[in-house]
Structure 1
């Protein structure tokens, strides 16, 4: 497999899950401004959508969108318990991935487009805070160690990556103690440390 990624982008979640499973994979960095890969390839010829992640499963067989890639990878090695094989447990993983993708990802994305006025930034922060407040309350009331159950999984990786973006937009995560606790737990995993080092995000 080959993952097309941009450092610190949402593709980091797929990179983390790839490190969790028993599979060989390659990485190819994408410059999202020039849409060129590190090998000089026009990225639009690889993924016409133009953004990451894109996962090349086999030559000519490509999968895009985190809500598809993350469950696909998580089910690769059932021994890892990254995603329930079926039933309500699997549906809950997909529910969280959908929520994070459609709500939290979009809320952060506002800050990575055209420059925002102070008023627009405040509205943007308020939107992020509303979603994180829901997530924080959910974690507070949950008996599980992670978002869905007692096993780390793709939704935890995705939440970790998205909330990392708070560092880039001067957003304060400190009110969300349960989110921070989950982030710290995820950050300590070897798969996360390796992925972040490989992408140049930490020394």
Structure 2
């Protein structure tokens, strides 16, 4: 398999899960401004949508969209720890992935377009805070070690990556202690440390 990624983008979640399932895979970096890969390929020829991630499963067979790629990769976990094979547990993973993709991802993405004036920035921060308040409360009211159950999974990787963007936009996560605690658990995983080093995000 090959993952097309941009450092620190949402593709980092797929990179983390690839490390978790311990399969052989290649990485190819994409410049999202020029839409060229590091090998000089026109990225639109790989993914006509133009954004990351894209997962080449076999030559010519491409899967896109984080909420599709993450469960696909997680189901390759030989221990079935990353995602339940069926039933309500699997549905809960998909529920979280859908919420993170349609709500939290979009809320952060506002900051990565045209520069925001002060009023728009304050409104965008408030939007993120509203979503994080919900997530923090959900974690606090749960007896699970992670978002869905006691096992790390794709939703945890995705939440980690999205909230990591707070560092880039000057957003404070300290009002959300449950999220910070979960982030610290995730950050300590070898799969995360390797992915972040490979993408040049940490030394």
Structure 1 unaligned regions, length at least 5: none
Structure 2 unaligned regions, length at least 5: none
Matches of 1:95 and 1:105 in 2, distance apart? Answer: 14
State the match for 2:71 in structure 1.
71
Deviation per CA, 1:8-41, whole angstroms, max 9, x where unpaired? 0000000000000031000000000000000000
Matches of 1:6 and 1:60 in 2, distance apart? Answer: 20
Deviation per CA, 1:35-78, whole angstroms, max 9, x where unpaired? 00000000000000000000000001000000000000000123
TM-score, normalising length: structure 1: 0.99
Secondary structure of the residue that 2:165 maps to in structure 1?
A: helix
Deviation per CA, 1:92-137, whole angstroms, max 9, x where unpaired? 0000000000000000000000010000000000000000000000
Matches of 1:186 and 1:178 in 2, distance apart? Answer: 12
- Root-mean-square deviation (CA, aligned residues, Å) is 0.5
TM-score, normalising length: structure 2: 0.99
Please list every run of at least 4 consecutive aligned residues from structure 1 whose deviation after the TM superposition is greater than 6 angstroms. Answer: none
State the match for 1:195 in structure 2.
195
Matches of 1:22 and 1:52 in 2, distance apart? Answer: 21
What are the equivalent positions in structure 2 for 1:2-13 lying under 5 Å apart?
2-13=2-13
Secondary structure of the residue that 2:63 maps to in structure 1?
A: strand
